[in-house]
Amino acid sequence: MDRAYEGNETRQLALDLGFIPVVPPTRTRLDPWEYDRAMYRRRNEVERLFRRLKGYRRIFSRFEKLDAMFLGFLCFVLVADGLRGLC
């Protein structure tokens, strides 16, 4: 969840469905809650990974018709992205 979804109704729905909302409260909230800051940072890393994956046209356009080929190319891109982070 992001700060845009930090309303009481949305938080309660997430709790009712068994999820743990990790959204920080807005600064103007009268009764702010505690949240896992480390997990919130990990959410940001996942969002940035999806943004980088969208840079590969074959993935976001789904050129591969076979699931095995799509998964293979996705694994290739993830390895290439990981190696780029090491350089």
Over residues 56-68, the pLDDT tens digits come to 887 777 777 888 9
The rounded Cα 82 to chain-centroid distance in angstroms is 17
pLDDT for position 18: 92
pLDDT for position 9: 85
Over residues 3-54, the pLDDT tens digits come to 777 778 888 888 899 988 888 888 888 888 888 888 888 888 888 888 888 8
Residue in the block written with tokens 């700060």: 3
- What does the CA dihedral 8, 13, 16, 21 come to, rounded to 10 degrees? -70
